[in-house]
């Protein structure tokens, strides 16, 4: 009990220290701006002790929304030389300056969470104001990132997926021309051990894609058609499906009948189309390259988000639980970001092995909703054990629980509070 109280206090102290006045930096040194999906989880954390501040986090993020509904992955609210690539590299020409790519759409799920924690008249007014902004972003996804109308999300940059260096992007990234990228100085490896970060080749590809988008003036429709990197991401697709269900719930609450009908149709489209991302050879949900049509074949932590997405198919669910059981036999802590039996598994390299608290929260939430209580409890407990033993770091080795990435991490603190 004492440990629990201490953990909560430590988590609150991290959110408070990383608060920059209405928005929270993921980590003060490595990520000194506002990140899109980090803020959604941070809001969930604030909800446990400061609901007003929780709403402010999401509202602040949406202040940077573009007119067409697009919501950028970074908002550069202030100047900071500690991060690369900064606003001058992105060249989005916006005020405030932003990046030109988006991130997994967790915000609608966070907003429903905030409302359910504190359903008061004052927050109803804020919910009413937030609803059209969320809907505009979700419509943008449907319009811009779902070329075959399958109800999935096609990412045009590995950073959009949030799982930057997952091996899912290796083969689709190979044709990216990095010959014109030029010299640059990374800041991440100045703050963190190289062995926990993406490689130079991966960074060259990230920057080539930024330069590509910038050269097209961040014309999102053209980028979606012409980008050399177009991958249907299993993580973003599952997260959007879940977020659409939560947005539908909010539409019904607010009495928006037409929007509710529209969302029902969008959800039905995903339920019918998302099988495109089922890899029948691997018996697993996998990302798929839209240019070659090939499935990645990788079993990653994102594969297990099918439960969170509310999908239910006895054969597929059984196959996913069998993967979970197999993986649980190979690691001490669930859920590693990459199958530990994969040759490319690395226990502390970012999204090639480490456990991430936010992904565990989504997986565990989905498993609990689907009635798989013991798996849900196991993942929750593993996450809390990791936090209690190693601290509020960015990610954790699934083998020995060691730290990967930055310390005092906002979204890890947020998940500790959500599970308190
Ligand atoms: C980074 O810079 O490492 C970020 O993940 C990009 O969003």
**What pLDDT is recorded for position 5?**
62
Tell me the average pLDDT of the chain: 97
Chain segment 63-102, per-residue pLDDT in tens: 999 999 999 999 999 999 999 999 999 999 999 999 999 9
Mean pLDDT score, 304-332: 98
Question: What are the phi and psi torsion angles at 230 (to 5°)?
Answer: -140, 105
Tokens read off for 60: 């602040």
List the one residue out of 280, 269, 367, 359 whose CA is nearest residue 315: 280
In the predicted structure, residue 131 carries a pLDDT above the cut 50: yes
Q: Is 158 exposed, middle or buried (0-12, 13-18, 19+ CB in 10 A)?
A: buried
**What pLDDT is recorded for position 132?**
99
Tokens read off for 405: 């990435």
pLDDT-derived band at 4 (thresholds 50, 70, 90) equals low
Mean pLDDT score, 312-332: 98
Q: What secondary structure does DSSP assign to 240-306, as a single string?
A: HHHHHHHHHHHHHHHT-HHHHHHHHHHHHHHHHHGGGGEETTTTEE--EETTT--B----BGGGGGG
How far, in Å, CA of 162 to CA of 103, rounded?
Answer: 6
**What pLDDT is recorded for position 1?**
44
203 ligand 1 Cβ < 6 A: no
Strand spans (E) along 74-156: 74-75, 154-155
Mean pLDDT score, 324-350: 98
**What pLDDT is recorded for position 108?**
99
Question: What are the phi and psi torsion angles at 396 (to 5°)?
Answer: -140, 145
Q: Write the CB contacts of 163 (distance below 8 Å, at least 6 apart in sequence).
A: 235, 300, 302, 337, 351
71 contacts 19 by C-beta, under 8 angstroms? no
Alpha carbon 107 to its chain's center: 10
Encode 44-75: b = buried (16+ Cβ within 10 Å), e = exposed. bbbbbebbebbbbbbbbbbebbbeebbbbbbb
Mean pLDDT score, 368-389: 98
- The number of the ligand 1 atom at minimal distance from the alpha carbon of 164 is 5
Distance 271 CA to ligand 1 centre (A): 31
Distance 201 CA to ligand 1 centre (A): 15
Mean pLDDT score, 134-144: 98
pLDDT-derived band at 3 (thresholds 50, 70, 90) equals low
User: Strands 395-396 and 403-404: what pairing?
Assistant: antiparallel
In the predicted structure, residue 23 carries a pLDDT above the cut 90: yes
Nearest CA to ligand 1 atom 7: 159
Chain segment 96-121, per-residue pLDDT in tens: 999 999 999 999 999 999 999 999 99
User: Strands 403-404 and 284-285: what pairing?
Assistant: unpaired
User: Which residues are identified as catalytic?
Assistant: 164, 394
Question: What is the H or E stretch that residue 232 is in?
Answer: strand 231-232
Q: What proportion of the chain, given as a percentage, has pLDDT over 70?
A: 99
Distance 420 CA to ligand 1 centre (A): 28
Strand spans (E) along 101-182: 154-155
Tokens read off for 184: 């640059």
38 ligand 1 Cβ < 6 A: no
SS3 state of residue 381: helix
Mean pLDDT score, 114-133: 98
Distance 74 CA to ligand 1 centre (A): 9
159 ligand 1 Cβ < 6 A: yes
State whether the Cα torsion 308-311-313-316 is positive or negative.
Answer: negative
């Amino acid at each position: 009990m004492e440990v629990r109280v201490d953990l909560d206090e430590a988590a609150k102290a991290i959110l408070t220290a990383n608060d920059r006045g209405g928005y929270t930096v993921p980590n003060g040194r490595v990520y000194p701006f506002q990140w899109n999906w980090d803020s959604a989880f941070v809001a969930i954390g604030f909800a446990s002790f400061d609901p007003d501040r929780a709403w402010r986090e999401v509202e602040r993020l949406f202040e940077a929304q573009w007119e067409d509904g697009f919501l950028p992955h970074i908002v550069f609210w202030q100047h900071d030389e500690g991060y690369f690539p900064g606003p001058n590299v992105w060249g989005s020409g916006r005020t405030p300056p932003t990046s030109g790519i988006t991130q997994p759409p967790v915000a609608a799920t966070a907003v429903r969470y905030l409302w359910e924690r504190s359903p008061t008249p004052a927050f109803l007014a804020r919910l009413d104001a937030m609803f059209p902004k969320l809907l505009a972003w979700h419509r943008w996804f449907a319009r811009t990132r779902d070329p075959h109308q399958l109800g999935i999300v096609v990412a045009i940059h590995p950073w959009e997926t949030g799982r930057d260096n997952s091996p899912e992007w290796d083969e689709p990234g190979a044709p990216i021309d990095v010959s014109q990228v030029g010299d640059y100085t990374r800041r991440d490896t100045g703050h963190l051990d190289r062995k926990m970060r993406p490689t130079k080749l991966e960074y060259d590809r990230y920057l080539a894609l930024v330069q590509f988008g910038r050269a097209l003036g961040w014309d999102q429709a053209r980028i979606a058609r012409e980008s050399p990197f177009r991958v249907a991401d299993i993580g973003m697709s599952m997260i959007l499906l879940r977020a659409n269900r939560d947005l539908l719930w909010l539409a019904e609450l607010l009495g928006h009948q037409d929007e509710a009908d529209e969302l029902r149709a969008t959800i039905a489209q995903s339920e019918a189309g998302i099988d495109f991302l089922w890899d029948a050879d691997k018996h697993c949900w996998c990302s798929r390259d839209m240019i070659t049509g090939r499935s990645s074949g990788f079993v990653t932590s994102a594969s297990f988000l099918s439960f969170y997405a509310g999908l239910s198919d006895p054969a597929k669910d059984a196959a996913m639980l069998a993967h979970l059981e197999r993986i649980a036999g190979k690691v001490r802590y669930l859920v590693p970001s990459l199958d530990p039996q994969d040759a490319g598994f690395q226990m502390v390299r970012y999204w090639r092995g480490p456990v991430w608290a936010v992904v565990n929260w989504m997986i565990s939430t989905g498993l609990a909703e689907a009635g798989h209580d013991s798996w849900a409890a196991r993942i929750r407990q593993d996450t809390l054990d990791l936090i209690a033993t190693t601290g509020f770091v960015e990610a954790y080795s699934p083998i020995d629980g060691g730290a990967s990435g930055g310390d005092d991490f906002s979204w890890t603190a947020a998940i500790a509070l959500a599970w308190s």
